[in-house]
Structure formats: structure tokens, C-alpha cells
Amino acid sequence: MKATDLIIMDLRQFLMCLSLCTAFALSKPTEKKDRVHHEPQLSDKVHNDAQSFDYDHDAFLGAEEAKTFDQLTPEESKERLGKIVSKIDGDKDGFVTVDELKDWIKFAQKRWIYEDVERQWKGHDLNEDGLVSWEEYKNATYGYVLDDPDPDDGFNYKQMMVRDERRFKMADKDGDLIATKEEFTAFLHPEEYDYMKDIVVQETMEDIDKNADGFIDLEEYIGDMYSHDGNTDEPEWVKTEREQFVEFRDKNRDGKMDKEETKDWILPSDYDHAEAEARHLVYESDQNKDGKLTKEEIVDKYDLFVGSQATDFGEALVRHDEF
């Protein structure tokens, strides 16, 4: 089977799944749709160093990596940790700063994003030149429907393609319609990039703004989360959302949300857990109190970072080659 056939199959399966999920959502009118993009928690463990460093291990490595700590001796752990530190030291000056540590923690927490990008990259870099052009993406994703803009299954592929092209152009910083892996990541996961936030807001408003007046009114806001489906009595959470809209979402009290109000809703300024954890790790490990860490300082406190036994860093290093 050709690669393009596999891509077509994946797209059809995705669209079928999307259709089923939509139908399922409509059949469950009391379930709430959440469009708010929150920063993920670093760990579900309690952050109490007096009891254990489990929270710090999850934060530094990611919870999945932290589960395999029983594979190495302390000596092996220290050796592998030293190799990881070299990866964290982005400017190679021999020191790990709070910002470098924060970037690493964010990377470890969002590894699934990079794994998703790697998977999709292989299916879209058709000429294998290390770049993905808009033409490559369009042909791989929509090629088989371009000759049939009005398919019988009800999906408006042409509209989807126009929307994807707009987002692709936004992600493509230099405007050459050819995406590097970083730009392709911004295209696939725009909520993770500051310069893509406007497109996230725009797409959200287009989804919810049924009368296309450029605003989200109260009924559109509620209608996106809840389908009455003939029921006259609303669940309590719907009543609460109505109050939230009036009291907090609609800041200027004009009865609708504009772009800035929508942005405040779906992209809130969350507490930066990664920065807080990075500062904590530096504070606990910085022996000479110069505000940054050497490899020796980190390895000396290896129990804080990786525990007395550590994860399979061999696999981690392969994954993190591009960090």
C-alpha cells in the first residue's frame, strides 16, 4: 500500500471518528465541552520534599519516564544524568540557568506533542528533504478530495483546506510556504506558541459564532457547550456558565465577547508551574548561590532530580536529540 493511501485512510478514519465523537457529544447534552487551554500539571504527586522527591522527578523527566526509575544503580543514574545536563545547557557555557531548566521541564511535560509531530512529519515530508511545504501537506491531506469539493458524506473539505492554509501561513514565519519542523509543530499545535494565539482565537470564534457577526453572544457561548435537545431544564453547570459569561467573560458588559475577551477565556495567563519548579530545583541545588547550576551541582543532588534509581536515559537521549 502506498504512503498516500495510508494517509487517505488515516484522514478518513479521523473524519469518521470526528463524526462519531460529535454524535456522541450531542447524545450527551449534560456533558461540558472545554475550550480553555490550561498548562498541564507537572505531576499528580504532592510537592513535599520532606516526604519524597516524586513530584520533582515527574517534573524533570515527565511522569512516563519517571515510572522506569528502578532500572539503574545510583552510579549509573549519576552518569546518565550528567549526559542529560549537557542537553539542558543550551548555550553550552557550562551552566544551567533557570530559563534553560524551565525550557527542559516544558519539553519533558509535552513530549507527546513532539512525538505526534514526528509521526505526522513522516507522512507529509513526501520528498524527504527535511521540510514540509504547503503543497506537500495539501496533497497528502486533501489530494484525493480536491476533484470532489462537495463530497456526499457532508464534510466540507474545501473549507477545511482553506482554514489549514491560513494556519500554515501563520506558522510559516518567513513566508516561503515551506515549514521547518518547528514551524510545522506550530501549525499542528498552535496553542503552544505565542505567535499563533491569534489564529487559535480566530478559529475558536469561527466555530462558535453561528451568526457570523464577529462576536460570541451568550446563547452562542452556551450552545457550544450544551445542546438542549428538547429539554427545558438546564443542568446546574449550564446555569453557572451563564453567570460566568455575564460576570467574567463579557468584561465590557456589552452582551458579547470580542476577540480579546475570547482570548482571555480560552488562553488564560496560568501560573507558570515549570518556572516555579525550575527555580525550586536551582535553589535546592545551587551550592555557591550564584543563581545557576553546574553539572557537578546537579549530579551532587541527583536524588532530587532523578532519585536513587533513574529512568532509561538511553531512550530519552534519542528522543531529545533536537532539544
Q: Which helix (H) or strand (E) holds 217?
A: strand 216-217
Nearest partner of 310 among 80, 123, 132, judged by Cα: 80
pLDDT of 99 > 80? The answer is yes
CA distance 56 to 203: 36
CA distance 169 to 49: 46
32-36, 118-122, 275-279, 308-312: least confident range: 308-312
What pLDDT, on the 0 to 100 scale, is given for residue 153? Answer: 53
What pLDDT, on the 0 to 100 scale, is given for residue 272? Answer: 83
What pLDDT, on the 0 to 100 scale, is given for residue 231? Answer: 67
18-22, 195-199, 224-228: least confident range: 18-22
85-99, 101-115, 138-152, 244-258: least confident range: 138-152
Reported as a single tens digit per residue, the pLDDT across 81-93 is 888 999 999 899 9
Residues 6+ apart with CB under 8 A from 100: 88, 89, 90, 91
Q: What are phi and psi of 205, to 5 degrees?
A: -65, -40
Reported as a single tens digit per residue, the pLDDT across 266-301 is 998 877 888 999 999 999 999 999 999 999 999 999
CA distance 186 to 172: 9
Rounded to the nearest integer, the mean pLDDT of the chain is: 82
What pLDDT, on the 0 to 100 scale, is given for residue 304? Answer: 92
CA distance 43 to 50: 17
Question: Helices in the chain by DSSP H: which ranges?
Answer: 3-27, 54-61, 63-66, 74-88, 98-109, 111-124, 134-142, 157-171, 181-188, 197-208, 218-225, 236-244, 259-266, 273-285, 295-300, 302-305, 313-319
2-6, 256-260, 309-313: least confident range: 309-313
- Quick one: cell of 120? 505526522
CA distance 79 to 73: 10
Identify the sign of the CA torsion 118, 124, 130, 135: negative
Q: Mean per-residue pLDDT for 37-55?
A: 82
DSSP string, 45-66: S---TTT-SHHHHHHHH-HHHH
Q: CB–CB of 16/22 below 8 Å?
A: no
3-class DSSP state of 179:
strand
pLDDT of 38 > 60? The answer is yes
In whole angstroms, how large is the CA radius of gyration of the chain? 23
Residue 151: which pLDDT band, with cuts at 50, 70 and 90? low
Nearest partner of 249 among 220, 270, 273, 227, judged by Cα: 220
Q: Which helix (H) or strand (E) holds 216?
A: strand 216-217
Q: Which amino acid is at 233?
A: D
Q: CB–CB of 41/25 below 8 Å?
A: no
Half-sphere exposure of 90 (CA within 13 A, CB side): 11
Q: What percent of the chain has pLDDT over 90?
A: 50
Burial 284-306 (b: 16+ CB within 10 A, else e): ebbeeeeebbbbebbbebbbbbb
